[in-house]
Structure 1
Amino acid sequence: MQKMKFNVKAENQGLAITAKAGKHQIVLDEGAQMGGKDTGPNPMQNVLASLASCENVTAHVVAKEIGFDLQALSFNITGVFDPRGFMGDHSVRPYFEEVTVEVKVTTTEPPERIAALQAEVESRCPVYTLLKAADVKLKDKWESA
């Protein structure tokens, strides 16, 4: 299998950025408290949304491989971030310290199969494993909806 390559082109308007990813356009911004105009999610919120999306895609791929009855997924993801690192305190890392992922799985499968799906997703999801490699504390709970 060939390696995949991704490209994003972006232009700013103040703190907002309009990124073009293929035929899609994404607007990221900051809220007024940071000097932005709140025209889109901030970059940290975007990371959490990307995690939900990536886990969703990975779960559907894995479910198909293992014959898992995956009807729907619902995500509630929270990240804890200490802004002092971003503001210049080099003793504090400038990214998430902890991310909590709560997933409700609509399925007829028993809890042990949900746990097996979760384990496989967490070992294969590119965004999840990126956060894990950055030593972000990941707290995960997958359960039947």
Structure 2
Amino acid sequence: MSTLNEYLVQKRQAALDRKDKALQLEEIPAQTYYAKARALGRSGVREIRIRDFQVISDSPEDYAGYNLGPNSAELQLGVLGSCLTHITLIQAALLQVSLDALEVEVSGQLHSFAGQPGYEDIPVYPYNIAYKLHITSSESPEKIADLHEQVERVCPIFNLLRNPQSIKGEVVLHSS
């Protein structure tokens, strides 16, 4: 079985190749991503489609769900953890930092009565978000600190959550 460090060699080469390919273009375009979510029939389960992938989101049974998948707040924390993991791997590969193991834990709070009378001061969004990067490595603490600084500098989802964004929304009504 291959190790994480063997993977980092492949990841480094892929990142360098991708950068070289992009630099050959006159202008480097931004990538557009797309996701679609819909509520399914009697269950209310949320089906999320991204490329050829399907993810299911659901509520616990005490909130009229069937507990068939994580709720939206849990998915958001998972997305942050996934992005931090991926960016840590990329940066470790580029900086040639040896990693024997990597795991990210993400936590946050969401209050079910947020914004309602008596709870107006509680945010209606996940808050107190925190993460722990568990790294097993023979590298120096200074090198790992440099890695961590670089990860926070370039991690897209970490920075999306840290920096407010403007989101446009619209309703398209279809008659039944």
2:72 corresponds to which residue? 43
Among 92, 100, 105, the alignment partner of 2:130 is: 100
Structure 2: distance between partners of 1:65 and 1:47: 27
Among 27, 32, 49, the alignment partner of 1:20 is: 49
Which one has a larger percent helix, Structure 1 or Structure 2? 2
Structure 2: distance between partners of 1:33 and 1:84: 15
Mark the CA change 1:86 to 1:32 in structure 2 (over 3 Å): closer, same or farther: farther
2:85 corresponds to which residue? 56
Are residue 10 (structure 1) and residue 40 (structure 2) matched? no
Q: Which amino acid aligns with 2:57?
A: L
1:47-84 CA distance string (max 9 Å, x none): 11101110111111111221111232112211122332
Aligned residue-pair number: 134
Structure 2: distance between partners of 1:124 and 1:87: 36
Q: Identity of aligned pairs, percent?
A: 23
Which one has a larger percent strand, Structure 1 or Structure 2? 1
> Is residue 82–residue 97 contact of structure 1 (8 Å, CA) maintained in 2?
no
Rg larger in 1 or in 2? Answer: 2
Structure 2: distance between partners of 1:113 and 1:59: 13
Among 84, 93, 97, the alignment partner of 1:68 is: 97
Q: Structure 2: 5+ residue runs without aligned partners?
A: 1-27, 165-176
Structure 1 stretches of 4+ moved >6 Å: none
Q: Structure 1: 5+ residue runs without aligned partners?
A: 135-145
TM-score (norm 1): 0.83
> Is residue 29–residue 37 contact of structure 1 (8 Å, CA) maintained in 2?
yes
